[in-house]
């Protein structure tokens, strides 16, 4: 194996990943921001900011897939004599005497040292503020006085990130700025319909500025050698059209040992339409002045930073495990939960692999993200469920994506992904189990955001299930539509035109026999959830709780769904079993996919995961055989591949899945997202050793230890896809950060491995562990209670023998919910 170089390490005490070499194998990024104002920041300060929507409100510009990589960001140029350097090494790439980047919870601190000057920048978005703070601390560690020239740099995006990259005939004439003291305002298109502007401020007097890119950088220069910095003087340029930027120029004298803070603030403001201007053509800056005043001293900024840290302390105190295995504890207690928050915020919209212009919030993606996030801030999860359900159609189908800014369904992609509706049950059930808030089911929610169409959320769940029931194929299995969870299994697409998107092209549906075993399993799992939900709500109504629904109706619904679920189980057992594993699908013509009879792709992971989670055919041994087949055919050193063997040629009838070269993405990549499905299947079957070995293979902290160079992407979070065993370089990761893997890894470890499962009436304790597991404790805040749970596995993989609650043994495995602090002892 090639020698694996290390680029950083975990610092668990500070909840940071510490990068010690700026030349990471790929930019290793972090996310700043909590609700409205967001930034992406790499380990060299590359990246960009936006307000709510990475497409429609891009504040600063970024060039994806650039040469060199990761070009554009918030850059500080420090000119010390003839030497120019940046604290984050890029863009000048002047060798530093010391470099360190610490990515933490909602902040990043980058420190560089050169010739006895230290520059440390703390980047974060304060809670509730529409701004990125950049607190730069300059320190003279030498014995001489230092005369430094400091230039800041941000490049404005002309708001719509898509047209910003293409409509140059217009863009080059629209750019406008204003300069007032130490603040540079970006107001392109403010004169017309936009009622928002951005600004870049520093809390000190400046000795000059630039706002025109060509003047500052020079037409044939690069970010690495901007003209103004080379000359050592600003030009006080005022941008008119072309590309507006913001650069402050500050002369700094530092005595030996002296240190000074500079607070830079990148802010975003919206004004009411009738209050846009303070004079003709002049922005009303009142709100900007206010925002600046809130963050213009070291004390104020330090306080805002302390608040952010407390916020994360509180969030990460909700579920805390102590196993004595630092690699597990740090993922459960820190990074997995952090990644869940990020995916909840961004769905799949903006990362270094998702350009922020293509995809809004996914219906299925966002519902899955909920299981990773709901314990943290339930009210936000609640709102998300309502937003998602509002993009549904009356027949239960739904838009596949919606835009975060407008919350409207995205017409470019449309609907027709037949797994989508089931995920609404999945997300809603997770929310109610966590909070006990059944009232969400009474919320009135529209279809397709049309006023006047409102029905209860419960009704949305009902039509979701019906969408599956009303769209069954010849084997009584669910019709797949455009695709199920696997966006690339396009069985009704039949496209030979490379300009058509596989996802949105559906050339034939009439007479299609294309059915999905993945949806079948998903339907059984969510159908059982739906039945349990109906029963739990009926029970509450009978105990006098208010609901607009009534218990007879719910009992009838539960019975109706039980029949549908039973019928689905029969259909899978009869038409979905291949002898050693579950089939994956039937194609348009009704031919098997994922069968030993096929030439390639004889077995797929998704149906193994969902049908084992659903325990279909467990008594006949199907579950155990399917799980064994996953080990035999799908597993490799880096995880389980999606299908095996990989497709070696394009298959017109299957669509995008066979468009990828072997071992990548949906063609036999290790699509980390679906590994947890099999792991949960293992846990339900009680096979703790196997569950753990699959889990550890894709657990970032284990990968971090062994494969930093090979893996390439951030070692502190999961990526969507790792190249599979058929790939040229198995183990290479791609598409980091925004992936359903985050929520699924969390759901798997928190509920199925460690075994702490929120339920309607309390917490169910049901761990599934490797035999080698020692005693561990979980502290879990649950609604208005705190549970301190100690688990003694005694070498068992599964099976709780006894639970002692506050010193008294209880019956069964559910700790009944009651307010206050409780101690729980669990013996397996």
The residues annotated with a catalytic role in the active site are 487
Helices 457-469 and 551-575, interaxial angle, to 10°? 30
Q: Which is nearer to ligand GLC, 103 or 665 (CB)?
A: 665
Establish if 482 lies at the interface with ligand GLC (CB under 6 A): no
| Number of residues that this document lists for the chain | 828
Q: Which stretch binds ligand GLC (CB under 6 A): 118-126, 337-345, 360-368, 544-552?
A: 360-368
Q: How many CB atoms lie within 10 A of CB 168?
A: 10
**The only residue of 57, 348, 375, 460 in contact with ligand GLC, by rule CB under 6 A:** 348
CB of 503 to ligand GLC, least distance (A): 5
What number of chain residues touch ligand GLC (CB under 6 A)?
A: 14
The answer to whether 372 and 332 are in contact (CB under 8 A) is no
Q: Which of the ranges 15-23, 138-146, 233-241, 358-366 carries the binding residues for ligand GLC, by CB under 6 A?
A: 358-366
Peptide bond into 68 cis (omega under 30): yes
Tokens for 817?
């919910």
Q: In whole angstroms, how close is the CB of 584 to ligand GLC at the nearest point? A: 13
Query: Which is nearer to ligand GLC, 348 or 798 (by Cβ)?
Result: 348
Residue 360 makes contact with ligand GLC by CB under 6 A: no
- What's the CA gap between 722 and 736, in Å, rounded? 10
Q: Which helix (H) or strand (E) holds 749?
A: none
Q: Which listed residue (199, 305, 399, 485) binds ligand GLC by CB under 6 A?
A: 485
> What DSSP element (H or E) covers 569?
helix 551-575
Among the listed residues 164, 365, 369, 635, the single contact to ligand GLC using CB under 6 A: 365
- What is the SS3 assignment for 816? strand
Q: Tell me the DSSP string of 757-772.
A: EEETTEEEE--B--TT
Decide: 132 and 38 in contact? Cβ < 8 Å: no
Tally of CB atoms within 10 A around 804:
14
Contact (Cβ atoms closer than 8 angstroms) between residue 610 and residue 581: no
Based on the shown chain and the rule CB under 6 A, indicate whether residue 666 belongs to the binding site for ligand GLC. Answer: yes
Nearer to ligand GLC, 252 or 488 (CB): 488
Q: What's the closest the beta carbon of residue 613 comes to ligand GLC, in angstroms?
A: 16
3-state class of 465 per DSSP? Answer: helix
| Least separation in angstroms between CB 261 and ligand GLC | 41
* In the complex, least distance from residue 718 CB atom to ligand GLC, rounded to whole angstroms: 12
The minimum distance between CB 739 and ligand GLC, in angstroms, equals 6
Q: Which of residues 491-510 bind ligand GLC (CB under 6 A)?
A: 503
Of 292-311, which residues contact ligand GLC (CB under 6 A)? Answer: none
**How, if at all, do strands 820-827 and 785-792 pair?**
parallel
The 685-724 site mask, x for binding ligand GLC (CB under 6 A), equals -----------------------------------x----
609/99 Cα distance (integer angstroms): 44
Residue 673 beta carbon to ligand GLC: minimum distance, rounded to whole angstroms: 6
> CA-to-CA distance for 76 and 247, rounded, in angstroms?
9
Q: How many whole angstroms separate alpha carbon 765 and alpha carbon 801?
A: 11
Cα–Cα distances (Å) from 796 to 408, 461, 773, 775, 805, in that order, read: 50, 38, 9, 11, 21
User: How many CA within 13 A on the CB side of residue 608?
Assistant: 33
Q: Does 486 bind ligand GLC (CB under 6 A)?
A: yes
What CA–CA distance (Å, rounded) separates 644 from 622? 19
Contact region with ligand GLC (CB under 6 A), list: 249-257, 427-435, 482-490, 616-624: 482-490
Contact letters (x/-) for ligand GLC, 610-649, by CB under 6 A?
A: ----------------------------------------
Residue 488 near ligand GLC by CB under 6 A: yes
List the one residue out of 461, 621, 472 whose CA is nearest residue 527: 461
Binding part of the chain for ligand GLC, among 23-31, 108-116, 486-494, 780-788 by CB under 6 A, reads 486-494
CB of 358 vs ligand GLC, minimal distance in Å: 7
Spatial contact of 268 and 196, defined as CB atoms under 8 Å apart:
yes
> Could you tell me the smallest distance in angstroms from the CB atom of residue 523 to ligand GLC?
16
> Between residues 24 and 720, which has the closer beta carbon with respect to ligand GLC?
720
Comparing CB distances to ligand GLC, the nearer of 52 and 348 is: 348
Q: Which CB, 319 or 344, lies closer to ligand GLC?
A: 344
Residue reference for tokens 């999961």: 718
> Whose Cβ is closer to ligand GLC: residue 40's or residue 561's?
40
Residue nearest ligand GLC, Cβ-based: 487
The correct pick among 80, 210, 434, 487 for binding ligand GLC (CB under 6 A) is 487
Answer for which of 176, 506, 529, 656 binds ligand GLC (CB under 6 A) is: 656
Please identify, using beta-carbon distances, which residue of 364 and 725 lies nearer to ligand GLC.
Answer: 364
Q: By CB under 6 A, is residue 665 in contact with ligand GLC?
A: yes
Task: Between 355 and 503, name the residue whose CB sits nearer to ligand GLC.
Answer: 503
User: Are the CB atoms for 238 and 177 separated by under 8 Å?
Assistant: yes
CA distance 700 to 686: 24
Which pair of structure tokens corresponds to residue 812? 């069964």
Helix (H) or strand (E) holding 380: helix 378-389
Q: Provide the minimum distance between the beta carbon of 516 and ligand GLC in the complex, in angstroms, as a whole number.
A: 12
Piece of 65-73, 479-487, 619-627, 695-703 that binds ligand GLC (CB under 6 A): 479-487
Q: Where are the beta strands (DSSP E) in 229-350?
A: 244-254, 259-270, 277-279, 282-283, 319-322
* Footprint (CB under 6 A) of ligand GLC, residues 82-101: none
Q: Looking at 126, 244, 362, 663, which residue binds ligand GLC (CB under 6 A)? A: 362
Residue 248 DSSP code: E
Q: Can you tell me the distance from the alpha carbon of 413 to that of 425, in angstroms, rounded to the nearest whole number? A: 22
Site string for ligand GLC, 572-611 (x = CB under 6 A): ----------------------------------------
For residue 176, state whether it binds ligand GLC (rule: CB under 6 A).
Answer: no
Q: DSSP states of 577-593 as a string?
A: B-SSSB--EE-TTS-EE
Closest distance to ligand GLC from the beta carbon of 676 (Å):
13
Summary count for the chain: helices (H), strands (E): 20, 44
Encoding tokens for residue 488? 């690339």
401 near ligand GLC, judged by CB under 6 A: no
Collapsing DSSP to helix, strand or coil, 177 comes out as strand
Q: Give the nearest distance from C-beta 606 to ligand GLC in angstroms.
A: 9
| Between 295 and 488, CB nearer to ligand GLC | 488
User: Cα 111 to the chain's mean position, in Å?
Assistant: 27
Q: Spell out, one character per residue from 718 to 757, where the chain touches ligand GLC: x when CB under 6 A holds, - when not.
A: --x------------------x------------------
Binding site for ligand GLC (CB under 6 A): 348, 362, 364-365, 485-488, 503, 656, 665-666, 720, 739
């Amino acid at each position: 194996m090639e020698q694996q170089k290390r680029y950083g390490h975990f610092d668990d005490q500070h909840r940071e990943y510490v990068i010690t070499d700026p030349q990471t194998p790929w930019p290793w990024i972090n996310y700043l921001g909590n609700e409205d104002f967001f930034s992406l920041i790499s380990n060299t300060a590359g990246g960009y900011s936006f307000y709510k929507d990475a497409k429609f409100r891009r504040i600063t510009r970024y060039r994806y897939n650039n040469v060199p990589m990761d070009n554009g960001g918030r850059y500080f140029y420090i000119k010390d004599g003839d030497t120019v350097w940046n604290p984050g090494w890029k863009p000048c790439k002047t060798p530093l005497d010391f470099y360190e980047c610490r990515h933490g919870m909602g902040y990043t601190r980058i420190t560089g040292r050169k010739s006895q000057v230290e520059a440390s920048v703390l980047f974060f978005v304060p809670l509730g503020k529409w701004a990125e703070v950049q607190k730069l601390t300059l320190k003279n560690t030498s014995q001489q006085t230092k005369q430094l020239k400091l230039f800041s740099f941000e490049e404005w995006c002309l708001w719509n990130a898509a047209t910003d990259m293409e409509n140059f005939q217009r863009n080059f004439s629209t750019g406008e700025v204003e300069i007032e003291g130490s603040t540079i305002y970006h107001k392109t298109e403010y004169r017309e319909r936009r009622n928002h502007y951005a600004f870049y401020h520093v809390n000190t007097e400046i000795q000059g500025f630039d706002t025109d890119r060509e003047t500052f950088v020079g037409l044939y220069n690069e970010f690495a050698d901007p003209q103004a910095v080379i000359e050592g003087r600003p030009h006080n340029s005022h941008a008119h059209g072309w590309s507006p930027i913001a650069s402050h120029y500050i002369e700094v004298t530092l005595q030996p040992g002296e240190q000074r803070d500079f607070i830079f603030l990148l802010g975003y403001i919206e004004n009411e339409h009738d209050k846009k201007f303070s004079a003709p053509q002049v922005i009303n800056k009142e709100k900007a002045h206010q925002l600046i005043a809130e963050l213009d001293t070291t004390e104020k900024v330090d306080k805002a930073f302390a608040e952010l840290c407390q916020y994360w302390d509180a969030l990460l105190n909700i579920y805390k495990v102590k196993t004595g295995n630092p690699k597990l504890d740090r993922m459960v207690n820190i990074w997995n939960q952090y990644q869940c928050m990020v995916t909840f915020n961004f769905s799949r919209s903006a990362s270094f692999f998702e350009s922020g212009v293509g995809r809004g919030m996914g219906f299925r993606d966002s519902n899955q993200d909920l299981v990773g996030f709901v314990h943290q801030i339930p009210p936000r999860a609640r709102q998300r469920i309502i937003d998602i359900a509002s993009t549904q159609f009356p027949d239960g189908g739904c838009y596949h994506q919606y835009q975060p800014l407008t919350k409207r369904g995205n017409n470019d992609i449309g609907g027709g992904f037949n797994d989508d509706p089931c995920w609404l049950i999945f997300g809603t059930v997770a929310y109610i189990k966590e909070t006990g808030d059944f009232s969400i089911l009474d919320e009135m929610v529209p279809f397709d955001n049309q006023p006047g169409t409102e029905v209860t959320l419960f009704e949305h769940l009902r039509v979701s299930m019906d969408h599956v029931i009303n769209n069954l194929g010849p084997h009584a299995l669910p019709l797949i539509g455009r695709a199920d969870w696997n966006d690339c299994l396009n069985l009704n697409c039949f496209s030979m035109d490379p300009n058509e998107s596989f996802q949105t092209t559906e050339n034939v549906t009439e007479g299609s026999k294309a059915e999905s075993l993945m949806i079948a399993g998903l339907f059984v799992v969510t159908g059982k959830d739906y039945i349990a939900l109906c029963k739990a709500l009926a029970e509450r109504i009978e105990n006098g709780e208010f609901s607009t629904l009534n218990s007879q109706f719910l009992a009838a619904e539960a019975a109706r769904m039980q029949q549908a679920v039973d019928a689905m189980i029969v259909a899978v057992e009869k038409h979905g079993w291949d002898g050693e594993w579950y089939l994956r699908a039937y194609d348009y013509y009704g031919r098997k996919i994922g069968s030993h009879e096929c030439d390639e792709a004889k077995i797929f992971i998704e149906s193994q995961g969902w049908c084992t989670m659903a325990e279909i055919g467990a008594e006949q041994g199907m579950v155990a055989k399917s799980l064994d087949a996953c080990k035999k055919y799908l597993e490799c050193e880096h995880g389980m591949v999606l299908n095996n063997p990989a497709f070696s040629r394009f298959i017109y009838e299957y669509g995008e899945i066979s468009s990828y070269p072997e071992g990548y993405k949906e063609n036999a990549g290790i699509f980390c997202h679906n590994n947890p499905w099999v792991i949960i299947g293992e846990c339900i079957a009680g096979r703790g050793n196997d569950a753990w070995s699959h889990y550890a293979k894709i657990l970032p902290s284990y990968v971090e230890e062994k494969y930093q160079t090979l893996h390439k992407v951030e070692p502190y979070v999961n990526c969507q896809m790792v190249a599979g065993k058929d790939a040229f370089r198995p183990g290479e990761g791609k598409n980091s950060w925004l992936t359903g893997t985050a929520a699924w890894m969390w759901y798997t470890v928190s509920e199925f491995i460690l075994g702490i499962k929120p339920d309607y009436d309390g917490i169910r304790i049901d761990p599934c562990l490797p035999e080698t597991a020692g005693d561990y404790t979980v502290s879990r805040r649950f609604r208005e209670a705190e549970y301190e749970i100690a688990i003694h596995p005694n070498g068992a993989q599964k099976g709780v023998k006894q639970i002692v609650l506050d010193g008294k043994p209880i019956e069964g495995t559910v700790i009944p919910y009651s307010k206050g602090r409780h101690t729980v002892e669990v013996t397996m």
